[in-house]
Amino acid sequence: MYFVLLAGIFHLPYFPAAQGIQVHDESTKIAGQLSLQSNLGNIPGRKIISLNGKWQAIIDPADFGIGSWAAIWKDQQPKGKTDFFEYSFEGGTVLDVPGDFNSQMPELNFYESTVWYKKKFSYKKDVQEKLFIHFAGVNYIADVFLNNEKIGSHEGGFTAFQFELTGKVKEGENSIIVRVNNQRVKDGIPSLGFDWFNYGGITREVNLVATPLSYIEDYFFQLKKGSNNEVEGWVQLGGLNKSQSINIRVPEAKINFKTTTGNNGRAAFSFPVKLNLWTPENPTLYPVKFASETDSIIELIGFRNITVKGTEILLNNKPVFLKGISFHEEIPQRKGRAYTEADALQLLTWTKELGCNFVRLAHYPQNEYIVRMADKIGLMVWEEIPVYQGIDFGNAVMQNKMNSMLTEMVNRDKNRCGIIIWSMSNETSPGKARNTAIINMAAFTRTIDPTRLIASAFNRVNYSGNTVAIEDTLSKYLDVLSVNEYLGWYKAWPSGPADVVWKSAFNKPLIMSEFGGEALYGHHGPADTASSWSEEYQEQLYKDQVAMLKNIPFLRGTCPWILVDFRSPRRLHPTLQDGQSGMWNRKGLLSDKGYKKKAWYIMEAYYRSQ
């Protein structure tokens, strides 16, 4: 057997990939109709040519190169003695891809604007294959040019996108140029005021992906909602000759299923199975082979179902308590984005050492190494799009942007069994526009994946005496309740922690999705004074939280904030948050060097007792 996490079998309708959201600036005038993104699933399982490595770069703080006069995307070279251009990729900056640009050059530490990237590659044309370029993540705006022709744009720093290059690549040497801009914008997702570091650049892997002319575009293969012994799913073919026979084989489970796609290339299926179900204690994964007449692909997939019944969360029809932690996609020791398999191992090893069976990926889809490794080592996952404080829900274009990001998130991870929750937002203010938008998002997500749980983390609850009431009407449209509460830090305890009474207007399970407080590792002081920022105060705060949590009858998961200290430009204390070094949110149970604070041991003991 293989070890990995599973996402309950969901009957996903086939949905086209979202089009890259267009940026309304000078760049949109360059090329007319841009390519739609393709909808390739399981990139790691395909024939790929890596474009990772050293890329030439031009730093463009005024975003000058997008205009018609400079036109950096044209990569113009002097042709005569009187010709010259005031830019050049040659002899200049070189950046590593994947990787954020902020951590690669001291001068770019707090940089938020445009960087141009260039990479040359050789290609031997094959008339029997299609070719795509796949970006696992670029923050935030990406304009992509092949041989000086724009092939597409994308908005969003944490979801993958791709464009078809078939018929556009040349025999021999080709050039890819990418304009990357990480400037915060009001109508962006996230918006202006997010509480994490705005790492920019081509932060995740870049690959050329080759397929046959008729290829397996995507598929879904999971347990039917609420069932432990029936799978349900679909296969979608792309390219030519879309009507073909399909074979799905899982040798270890003695599955050999055959079907046929229609003229639209789609085949839906459902059939009984006998499988070892995935759990955190036994994270079984099966090699699954999908084969058409012209293509084949293998992926490790786990099988489990996740449901709610009243205030219980059920994994494979058995109650489960989510022992969680949140973390950012950041390696604090190097002050940079996490992007490698080794980075994923570091973050998830810490998580398992704490005693967790659950992780909340804050506050955006993180790199695919993290999600796939969580499957393998037995961690359930909460994944969300960065609809965060300050989002203008009244802006007419925002719903399309949010739906596009949801589509891209589900597209990539729909076969990851470890993901049990899709989250629509974090800490948004109640109101008609917000309610309408998130209700629509929840409904939209259920149409593309009806099997996982839907959540949205709130920080607005009603305090009255020693009673805390969950009353947000949006909860009616969600599967689980989730509250970010900072009693003992941002809000004083209304009474003794063990005397705090939580009430809910909804018969649903509660995940305490955030709680905690800040402490500088190695800094000691009184345990009863928040302004001490001492390890002792944070330790006592966690003792108080545990005393309160034990008395919430409908609590079914906890997720303290946060695993490890992380960078944030909103944190300005000159010594305790170390402004000169980079500004740190000190709520971590681990320091920015990975050292355990006293509060770590309180949470570890609580989880070991569950």
| CA–CA gap between residue 366 and residue 142 (Å, rounded) | 18
Tally of CA atoms within 13 A in the half-sphere of 554 that contains its CB: 20
pLDDT digits (tens, 9 = 90+) for 519-537: 999 999 999 999 999 999 9
The pLDDT confidence band at residue 15, using thresholds 50, 70 and 90, is: very low
For 193-227, b where at least 16 C-beta lie within 10 A, e where not — what string?
ebbbbbbbbbbbbbbbbbbbbbbbbbbbbbbbbeb
Contact 120, 175 (CB under 8 A): yes
pLDDT surpasses 80 at 16: no
The whole-chain average pLDDT of the chain stands at 91
pLDDT surpasses 80 at 390: yes
For 201-215, what is the mean pLDDT? 97
Q: Strand (E) positions, 88-205? A: 93-97, 114-123, 129-135, 141-146, 149-155, 161-164, 172-181
Contact 117, 55 (CB under 8 A): yes
At 246 the three-state DSSP class reads strand
pLDDT surpasses 60 at 38: no
pLDDT surpasses 90 at 465: yes
pLDDT surpasses 70 at 57: yes
Please identify which residue in the block is written with the tokens 């530490």.
Answer: 109
For 99-125, what is the mean pLDDT? 96
pLDDT score of 495 = 94
Contact 398, 4 (CB under 8 A): no
For the domain spanning 26-211, the CATH number is: 2.60.120.260
Residue 439, exposed/middle/buried by CB under 10 A (0-12, 13-18, 19+)?
Answer: middle
pLDDT score of 81 = 87
Contact 543, 605 (CB under 8 A): no
pLDDT surpasses 80 at 34: no
Lowest mean pLDDT segment, chosen from 25-39, 129-143, 372-386, 458-472: 25-39
pLDDT surpasses 80 at 125: yes
pLDDT score of 581 = 61
At 387 the three-state DSSP class reads coil
Whether residue 573 is preceded by a cis peptide bond, meaning omega within 30 degrees of 0, is: no
pLDDT surpasses 70 at 19: no
What's the one-letter identity of residue 147? Answer: N
Contact 241, 215 (CB under 8 A): no
CA–CA distance from 269 to each of 44, 107, 215, 221, 455 (Å)? 24, 55, 19, 9, 28
% pLDDT > 70, the chain: 93
The pLDDT confidence band at residue 29, using thresholds 50, 70 and 90, is: very low
Contact 266, 251 (CB under 8 A): no
pLDDT digits (tens, 9 = 90+) for 146-188: 999 999 999 999 999 999 999 999 999 999 999 999 999 999 9
- Let me know if the fold of 26-211 is the same as that of 309-609: no
For 475-496, what is the mean pLDDT? 96
DSSP state, 280? Answer: S
pLDDT score of 309 = 98
For 339-363, what is the mean pLDDT? 97
Please identify which residue in the block is written with the tokens 């040349």.
Answer: 170
Instruction: Domain 309-609: give its CATH architecture.
Output: Alpha-Beta Barrel (3.20)
Where are the chain's structural domains? 2-11+213-306, 26-211, 309-609
The pLDDT confidence band at residue 607, using thresholds 50, 70 and 90, is: very high
pLDDT score of 155 = 97
pLDDT score of 127 = 86
Instruction: Domain 2-11+213-306: give its CATH architecture.
Output: Sandwich (2.60)
Maximal C-alpha separation, the chain: 83
Q: Rounded to the nearest 5°, which phi and psi values hold at 521?
A: -55, 135
pLDDT digits (tens, 9 = 90+) for 258-301: 999 999 999 999 999 999 999 999 999 999 999 999 999 999 99
The pLDDT confidence band at residue 22, using thresholds 50, 70 and 90, is: very low
For 413-427, what is the mean pLDDT? 97
pLDDT score of 591 = 97
* Distance from chain centroid for Cα 490: 27
% pLDDT > 90, the chain: 84
